[in-house]
Amino acid sequence: MSRIQKLDPDQWDPELREMTHADSATPLEQGLMRMIAHCPELGKGLAKFGGALKQGRTLPERLVELVRLRVAFHNQCRSCMAIRYTDALNDGVTEDLVCSLENPPAATNLTDAEKAAIAYGEMMATNHLAIDDEVYDNLRKHFSEAQVVELGMTVAFFVGFGRLAATWHMVEELPEQYQDASEKVAPWQADSIVVR
């Protein structure tokens, strides 16, 4: 059970509800906003920021999804691990590819750019102070300076809000494998749910 009370969209600020298309979204798609709606102005700011990350994205959806899932594993954010986004599936993410996230450096179906981005995301989630010039030099082999900034901001979003989601323990709509917080889980070990 979630540790923060979820609000139904009819209890949300009308502008926040409209910004997030909450009335046409499933409860799982409404996600953390059901809790964040307790603070409508913060929710609106978060929706704008998250929207800017999505609408302004130049990185491939496949790459972003793989980074998101690897970060989710380190955060142990169960809702993050269970979800697969339609845009990423349309860009080539498969469950076989998700299974590669168990050991990204050894995966033969990940590109060098994906491996670099996943390694960066993993370091941000586990030991950010180990990120040095060499890590950024490696990223620049695959990404423009603007894309390195985009990747950094995207990963920061995933790390921060994934950790928050993990502590709020929003698991009621998830497959059973994700509901028990006493066991460590991985996105490559359990069922997933596709959302838009």
Answer yes or no: are the C-beta atoms of 74 and 124 closer than 8 Å.
no
Q: How many domains does the chain have?
A: 2
Is residue 153 located within the same domain as residue 85? yes
Q: Answer for the pair 115, 104: CB distance below 8 angstroms, yes or no.
A: yes
Q: Is 165 helix (H, G, I), strand (E, B) or coil?
A: helix
If asked whether residues 97 and 147 sit together in one domain, one would say yes
pTM to 2 decimal places: 0.96
Question: Does residue 151 lie within any of the structural domains?
Answer: yes
pLDDT tens digits in sequence order for the chain, 196 residues long: 899 999 999 999 999 999 999 999 999 999 999 999 999 999 999 999 999 999 999 999 999 999 999 999 999 999 999 999 999 999 999 999 999 999 999 999 999 999 999 999 999 999 999 999 999 999 999 999 999 999 999 999 999 999 999 999 999 999 998 998 888 999 998 889 999 8
CA-based nearest residue to 161, from 66, 25, 62, 35: 35
Q: Are 120 and 158 in contact (CB under 8 A)?
A: no
Count of residues making up the chain: 196
In angstroms, how far is CA 53 from the centroid of its own chain? 12
Residue 26: give the domain boundaries: 9-55
Q: Is residue 4 part of a domain?
A: no
Q: What is the DSSP letter of 92?
A: T
